[in-house]
């Protein structure tokens, strides 16, 4: 068996861990708010075996599902398990990697051709009492929310036609419907996108297919109260390149970006395409909402190019990470227009991992949180994650233009994406829970969960849990209140 490549994707905080664990009775230091009772699920990519190709990266890692539960007695439990995907089991069986490059099955071993190669490593999605580990290149895997045992690939009881489902779903806070899409819905490098609506009971109510302007990496989308919004940025796939053993994605700076807009319950033939700037890219949207004049606002963490060096460089784009420009950016369109261009406004700083209260999804909102790099940090950032450096400044943004609030970490520490825990107290903004990684020695790390007052992040954590297990950086997380877990297991 080979060793892991000595690249930043497998070194330091990114060093593979690959150990399942279950730890109970962890001490919660400080005052854990009584509202923070439930489970914080996280998706953590962690390759079980050294990759077949040395240029492999974070996005190919086998999905691990992790749970941090805050118990009624004020203690916490931690568990992490591999999602037993068909791919993970096939590699475990052989004792080595059999699947090749990121999203290129032409580079897989001959005897695993046709085996589901998704790694279920991006988002734990909770809906209708089910926990799904999702990744955009395939269908999600369902896992047991208590034992974390893998229950199998989920196709909504045989109803889903799309071969893929995004890791970035949206849930309407009023109807409790789940909105999602799958791109490359009928195969590699296809322009087919499936737009799906799932009822609050978990049944697939509608699936409609449309063509994107080109085959793009459609990582996230969003819904407003009345519309579904599909951004298209020019990180593109090409079947001939894949057949030749190349990379799934190249970024194309000269191609236009687009925003597709359709009525949420409309027919896909009603999609209108609005043109955006050339060459830009965003992984994550903060929200979309309609104003009183009927204009539609789409708020995304937009960058001047793809944020990942392992996508830029094979595309011939060589930039230092600090030369990637970005800003929280609003695109405004008139959804009743036939076509047009987006009107672009910068509304916030560079960064990523935007979070809003689930109750404000698709509605006007007054504040949100995101991660960024602290321009005033004295000392190096913590190396890790797919970009190579961990974000070290948490912001609370006032969407009406007031000053942001910030919580800075010291050198050699980083934030993972927080989850928001709502409060029932009128006027209270709720809580954030986030894992903070700190490097304290040569390959020695401390991992803590911090609980913050979401309206007063600058005060620092109100409670902390140290997790005595080596952790790799997460991608996304999901908060599930204890009452929902209890209802699902009843
Ligand atoms: C992202 C993550 C993925 C992926 C595509 O963070 C994009 C963005 C963890 O997997 O497959
Ligand atoms: Fe994402």
**What would the pLDDT profile of 7-42 be if each residue is shown by its tens digit?**
999 999 999 999 999 999 999 999 999 999 999 999
Name the nearest CA neighbour of 257 among 365, 334, 329, 347: 329
**Does ligand 1 have an atom closer than 6 angstroms to the CB of 117?**
no
Decide whether any atom of ligand 1 lies within 6 Å of the 219 Cβ. Answer: yes
| 415-425 pLDDT per residue, tens | 999 999 999 99
Strands (E), 150-269: 150-153, 170-171, 178-183, 192-198, 204-211, 222-223, 227-232, 235-236, 250-251, 256-263
Round to whole Å and give the CA distance between 310 and 121.
18
Q: Does some domain include residue 199? A: yes
Whole-number Å distance between alpha carbons of 209 and 228: 14
Ligand 1 site-directed mutation target among 135, 137, 251, 417, most atoms within 8 Å of CB: 135
Both tokens of 106, joined, read: 């032409």
- Cβ of 475 closer than 6 Å to ligand 1, yes or no, is yes
Report yes or no on 195 lying in a domain: yes
Ligand 1 in reach of 45 Cβ (< 6 A) = yes
Q: Classify residue 473: in a domain, yes or no.
A: no
What is the number of the ligand closest to the CA of 167? 2
135 touches ligand 1 (CB under 6 Å): yes
Cα of 334 from ligand 2 centre, angstroms: 27
Give me the pLDDT at residue 367, please. 98
Write out residues in the chain with pLDDT < 70, as ranges.
1
Ligand 1: which of 43, 284, 386 to mutate, most ligand atoms within 8 Å of CB? Answer: 386
The secondary structure of the chain in percent helix, strand, coil, rounded to multiples of 5, reads 10, 40, 50
In the chain, the number of structural domains is 1
Q: Is residue 334, in this structure, part of any structural domain at all?
A: yes
Note whether residue 300 is domain-resident: yes
In a domain, 4, yes or no: no
pTM comes to: 0.98
Cβ–Cβ under 8 Å, residues 274 and 339:
yes
Shortest-distance Cα residue to atom 3 of ligand 1: 59
Question: Residue 1's pLDDT is what?
Answer: 52
Q: Which residues contact 99 (CB under 8 A, 6 or more apart)?
A: 52, 87, 90, 91, 105, 108, 109, 112, 115, 117
For ligand 2, the distance from its centroid to the CA atom of residue 456, given in whole angstroms, is 26
Residue 461 maps to a domain = no
Ligand 2 centroid to residue 72 C-alpha, Å: 31
Query: Does the residue 102 lie in any domain?
Result: no
* Structural domain range at position 213: 183-221+232-352
């Amino acid at each position: 068996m080979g060793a892991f490549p000595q690249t930043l994707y497998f070194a330091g905080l990114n060093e593979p861990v690959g150990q399942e664990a279950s730890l109970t009775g962890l001490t919660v230091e400080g005052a854990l708010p009584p509202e923070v009772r439930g489970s914080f699920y996280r998706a953590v990519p962690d390759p079980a075996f050294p990759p077949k190709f040395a240029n492999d990266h974070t996005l190919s890692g086998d999905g691990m599902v992790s749970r941090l539960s805050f118990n009624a007695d004020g203690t916490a439990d931690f568990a992490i398990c591999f999602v037993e995907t068909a791919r993970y089991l096939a590699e475990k069986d052989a004792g080595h990697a059999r699947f090749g490059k990121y999203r290129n099955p032409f580079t897989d071993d001959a005897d695993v051709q046709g085996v589901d190669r998704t790694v279920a490593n991006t988002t734990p999605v909770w809906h209708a009492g089910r926990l799904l580990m999702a990744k955009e290149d395939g269908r999600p895997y369902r896992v047991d929310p208590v034992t974390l045992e893998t229950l199998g690939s989920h196709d909504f009881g045989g109803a889903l036609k799309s071969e893929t489902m995004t890791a970035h779903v949206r849930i309407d806070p009023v109807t409790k419907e789940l909105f999602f899409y799958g791109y490359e819905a009928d195969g590699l490098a296809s322009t087919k996108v499936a737009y799906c609506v799932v009822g609050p009971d978990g049944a697939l109510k509608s699936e409609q297919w449309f063509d994107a302007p080109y085959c793009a990496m459609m990582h996230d989308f969003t819904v407003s109260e009345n519309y579904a919004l599909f951004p298209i940025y020019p990180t593109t796939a090409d079947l001939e390149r894949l057949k030749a053993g190349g990379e799934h994605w190249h970024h194309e700076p000269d191609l236009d970006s687009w925003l597709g807009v359709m009525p949420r319950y409309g027919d896909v033939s009603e999609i209108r395409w609005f043109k955006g700037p050339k060459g830009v890219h965003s992984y994550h949207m903060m929200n979309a909402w309609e104003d009183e004049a009927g204009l539609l606002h789409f708020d995304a963490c937009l960058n001047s190019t793809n944020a990942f060096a392992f996508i830029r460089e094979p595309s011939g784009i060589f930039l230092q990470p600090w030369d990637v420009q970005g800003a929280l950016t609003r695109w405004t369109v008139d959804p009743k227009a036939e076509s047009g261009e987006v009107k672009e406004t910068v509304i916030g700083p560079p960064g990523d991992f935007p979070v809003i209260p689930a109750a404000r999804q698709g509605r006007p909102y007054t504040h949100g949180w995101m991660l960024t790099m602290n321009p005033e940090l004295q000392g190096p950032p913590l190396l890790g994650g797919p970009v190579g450096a961990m974000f070290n400044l948490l912001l609370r943004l006032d969407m009406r233009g007031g000053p942001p609030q910030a919580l800075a970490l010291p050198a050699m520490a980083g934030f993972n994406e927080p989850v928001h825990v709502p409060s029932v107290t009128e006027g209270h903004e709720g809580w954030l829970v986030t894992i903070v990684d700190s490097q304290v020695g040569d390959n020695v790390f401390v991992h803590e969960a911090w609980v913050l007052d979401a309206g007063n992040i600058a005060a620092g954590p109100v409670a902390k849990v140290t997790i005595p297990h080596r952790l790799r950086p997460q991608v996304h997380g999901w908060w599930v209140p204890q009452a929902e877990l209890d209802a699902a297991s009843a």
